[in-house]
Structure 1
Amino acid sequence: MTEGDDEMRLKRVLVLLCVILIVFSSGVMYANGEKTQTKDLNYLKQIIEYIKANYAGEITEEELIEGAIEGVFNKLDKYSDYYSPEEFKEFNTSVSGNFGGVGIQITEKDGYITVITPIDGTPGARSGIKPGDKIVSVDDIDIKGVSVNRAVSLIRGEPGTQVKLGIMREGIDNIIYFNITRELIKINPITYKIMDNGLGYIKISQFNSNTYENLKDILKIFDEKNVEKLIIDLRNNPGGYLDEVIDVLQFFVPKGPIVHIKKADGTIETYNSNLELPKYKLAVLVNSGSASASEIFAGAIQDSKVGTIIGTTTYGKGTVQSVVSLVDGGGMKITIAEYLTPNMRKVNEVGIKPDIIVENTTEPKVDLSKIPTLDKTRKPTVGVVGLDVLGAEMILETLGYEVNKPDGIFDEATFEAIKKFQKDQGLYSYGVLDFTTQDALTRAINEYAKPDNVDKQLQKAVEVLLEK
């Protein structure tokens, strides 16, 4: 190939690039010399056709269309989404709380899909599957090393169909097999108890399609035992169905508005309670993980003044989505409205601020990285200088022992503080920073630094209800 050929080829490439830039960047097309409509569906079709004809990699038209659809949703708000058929099936299961399966909770442990527990009353429990069982096959498919999601997809299926599980059980040499008929499993998102102080405690993890029915049964139990002061725990509840939370609030909110739905056209639809007289005194626990339907609940309780909201400000997801099934089995979720509290307060990007703000401590009380390590390379005593001495002084001061300002110098104050610490720990009290004392100091500061495991939010809820 000559130099002239190279130059000619380069000119052709530049011309082609210019054409592509004109067509795809400006969106202007010409037909028979006349300017036509820009960036419509025909424009998108031409892009797809061009990619199919020229793309050097492997791509199908279906994949390109799928990508184009996903691109549309990327331009919408973060709560609108498109789901492939497989994703839509999983989405519906997670939100509804209902699926065809055997009713076992599983996890991955040491490379095996391991049973956490069978759910009471389900085929898995009735068949004799036990906590700790390792599932090694599903319908004779080896699943050792697969993900939990993959195992779940194999075990679940249409109610009435059978699944064969191969189980390894401790104490039994051979694999044992269970042929189990799947049933419709309904996940109960509520746990409850009557506390020692006589208060009722209800934890709602999600407003799925089973929330109302399960709550109704729990409240019957409480009514029989005359439990009228309730703690409703909505912490880390991501939300769920609008209809479900509205039905649940009928138990608590007096006659009047529960929530207002402001639609895209500006019209407002109000959902009301028909309850004549509330019977329960409530404390509702929320945090930054409480979102959507949980915020509808908290806002309605707060505005109607039938309970006290305790915790930290909620997530701030104040929009309503409509879920639409598509002909190919996929689906889409579109934001169609914004909801407002009974007093017309905005929630989206704002959240519900509790009546009483209480933080649960999750951070260590002490930054251990700032304390020099006691590495047991020597046994310091009076007059010695070093980082190990500084570390010991910092620990002793944090634990409440009197030392001069920590400076790394082993002085008389440090000597006396170590003697007192040794005595308190039941060690030989002689003031030398020996290896045993260094170990004891390290253990003591590690224990001290642990965050409080006390649920201060729950404590405050108990305090508020008992005061009332």
Structure 2
Amino acid sequence: MKTKRFSLRTLLLTAVLTVVLTAGVLLGAAWLLLGRAGVSMAETMVLINTLFVGEHDIQTATDQALDSLITGLGDRWSYYMDADSYQQQIQRRSNSYVGIGVTVTYLEEGVLHIEAVTAGGPAETAGLQAGEEITAVDGTALTAENISEATSLIQGEEGTQVTLTVRGTDGTEREVTVTRSQIDESPAEGELLSDGTGLVTIRNFNSRCAEDAIAAVDSLVEQGAQRLVFDVRNNGGGYVSELTDLLDHLLPEGTIFRQRSNFGWETTVTSDAQCVELPMAVLVNGNTYSAAEFFAAQLQEMDWGVIVGEPTFGKGFSQQTFPLASGGAVNLSTARYFTGEGVSLIGTGLTLDQEVALTEEQAAALSAGTLDPSEDPQLQAAIELLRETEEPS
């Protein structure tokens, strides 16, 4: 007669032990990954979702908690984005978005200052100008309390309209209705100046930057440019891949970028021997960050370019964006970066070959895109510096 290999009691005991062991492993893994603080946050969420009786919006509470968590790291380059902000970042980094075509800054009194107006965009068509201020959106007055929501109020679906209350530079107010549309911005453009200088303006290092900048450089070389000046003033940076692709096109053979992760893993990017052999200069200011700042540093380090302008901050962390289940995302510093020779810019910024400042009026015109090259002291100083190093013909 055959007997059962395992009794029911044995099977039940095995199942219970398996569950307990699995739970223990999972809890142990959670403790290792999250630490005491992370487990405490998870416990708090469980308590709120199961026991809290007050009226609340859990997503709003979560957004505030995540924002405080990342802010508490003390790293100005790391930040949390809710779902709407994350979608706006995706559009901005693609250099293609639905909007009205203005670049704005927040003022303490609760208004939006128009820094620049996109050429050919809806705002320009409606008559908005750099230097003016937006004080209300669709009848909602902007205040210090709601100013952070202002850009969300202005944005909307393509083809819809938004009515702005605008204060002109003379202090008078008027209402302007603007139709939102798809705006495709070029991150880089080239211009051949009358003296033979090829001026390449790089607005950001986001999508298509390398492609547009390389096309601009090649076109200027074909037109007979004698020297190149790259303008990365007010450039907040962008993608490492766009930066290194452009550097590879310009520079001779060598290491052009180093990056070291939290685990100590180091990656390097090298340039091939093909390069652009023209005297080069880079224009920078206090708003030249990240990839833009590094671009200037690497050209200078390889004796391929000089730097003219104003001191920079000195950024040395690179970030990654991690989408979250909520629809939001965390932009987190995950690596340190260095020049090809292993130099970090943290705490020092760029070493200027010539420091030249702009007046307030000139800086405003630069932001608005209306500063004439002949009246730009930083550009003219860079051209003169390059001429001094050029061999006589």
Please indicate the TM-score interval, normalised by the length of the shorter structure.
0.5 to 0.7
In structure 1, the gaps of 5 or more residues are 1-36, 170-174, 364-452
Trace 1:83-98 onto structure 2 (pairs within 5 A): 83-98=81-96
Structure-2 change in CA distance of 1:106 and 1:148 (3 Å):
farther
User: Residue deviations 1:122-154, cap 9 Å, x none?
Assistant: 5777xx64457999999xx55676888766535
The residue aligned with 1:360 is: 357
Residue matched to 1:366? none
Select 1:462's aligned residue among 380, 383, 389. Answer: 383
- Structure 2 vs 1, CA of residues 123 and 316 (structure 1 numbering), >3 Å: closer, same or farther? closer
Report the Cα offset of residue 339 of structure 1: 0.9
Name the residue aligned to 1:66. 63
Give the alignment's Cα RMSD to 1 decimal.
4.4
1:84-123 → structure 2 map (5 Å cutoff): 84-101=82-99, 103=101, 119-120=118-119
Deviation track 1:251-308 (CA, whole Å, cap 9, x = no partner) reads: 3111222211112222221112235242321011223332210122112101221111
Structure 1 residue matching 2:228: 3-state secondary structure: strand
Matching residue of 1:17: none
Amino acid at match of 1:72: L
Residue correspondences, number: 330
Identity across matched positions, percent: 26
CA gap of 1:280–1:168, structure 2 versus 1, over 3 A, is same
Report the Cα distance in structure 2 between the residues aligned to 1:82 and 1:116, rounded to whole angstroms.
25
Structure 2: segments with no counterpart, 5+ residues: 1-30, 167-174, 361-373
Indicate whether 1:280 and 2:201 are aligned. Answer: no
CA distance in 2, matches of 1:114, 1:80: 25
8 Å CA contact 1:107–1:148 kept in 2: the answer is no
Q: Which amino acid aligns with 1:344?
A: G
Q: Is the 8 A contact 2:126 2:177 kept in 1?
A: no
Q: TM-score, normalised by structure 1?
A: 0.57
Residue 162 of structure 1 aligns to which amino acid in structure 2? G
The answer to whether the Cα contact below 8 Å between 1:117 and 1:130 also exists between their aligned partners in 2 is no
The residue type equivalent to 1:248 in the other structure is L
C-alpha contact 2:136 2:165 (8 A) present in aligned 1:
no
TM-score by length of 2: 0.67
Deviation at 1:315, TM superposition (A): 1.4
Quote how far apart the aligned CAs of 1:248 are: 1.9
- Indicate if the aligned counterparts of 1:143 and 1:151 stay in contact, CA closer than 8 A: no
Matched with 1:243 is 241
In the alignment, the residues of structure 2 paired with residue 65 and residue 113 of structure 1 have an alpha-carbon distance, to the nearest angstrom, of 28
C-alpha contact 1:156 1:182 (8 A) present in aligned 2: no
Measured in 2, the distance between the counterparts of 1:168 and 1:239 equals: 32
Q: Distance in 1 between matches of 2:165 and 2:36?
A: 59
Cα-to-partner distance string for 1:305-350 (whole Å, 9 max, x where unaligned): 1111233442111111111112222001111111110111122233
1:165/1:345 CA distance change after superposition, 3 Å: closer
Superposition map of 1:426-441 within 5 A:
none
Match of 1:203 among 198, 201, 204: 201
- The answer to whether the Cα contact below 8 Å between 1:259 and 1:271 also exists between their aligned partners in 2 is yes
- What CA distance in whole angstroms lies between the structure 1 residues aligned with 2:90 and 2:304? 33
Higher RCO structure, 1 or 2 (CA under 8 Å, sep 6+):
2
**Residues 412-463 of structure 1: CA deviation (Å, up to 9, x unaligned):** xxxxxxxxxxxxxxxxxxxxxxxxxxxxxxxxxxxxxxxxx97553333111
Cα distance in 2, alignment partners of residues 82 and 323 from structure 1: 9
What are the within-5 Å matches in structure 2 for residues 240-279 of structure 1? 240-279=238-277
Is contact 1:135-1:165 (8 Å) kept? no
Distance 1:205 1:181, change over 3 A: closer
The corresponding residue for 1:229 is 227
Q: How does 1:276-355 map to 2 (within 5 A)?
A: 276-354=274-352
Amino acid at match of 1:340: F
Q: CA contact under 8 A between 1:102 and 1:122: conserved in structure 2? A: yes
Q: 1:300 to 1:56 in 2, by over 3 A?
A: same
SS of match in other structure, 1:209: coil
| 1:181 CA displacement | 7.5
Which of these two proteins has the greater Rg computed from alpha carbons? 1
* Residue 81 of structure 1: aligned partner: 79
Q: Spell out the pairing of 1:153-172 with structure 2 (5 A cutoff).
A: 153-154=152-153, 156-157=155-156, 161-164=158-161
Whether the aligned pair in 1 keeps the contact of 2:283 and 2:378 (CA below 8 Å) is yes
Distance apart, 1:166 and its partner CA? 6.1
Whole-Å Cα distance in 2 between the matches of residues 247 and 335 of structure 1?
Answer: 22
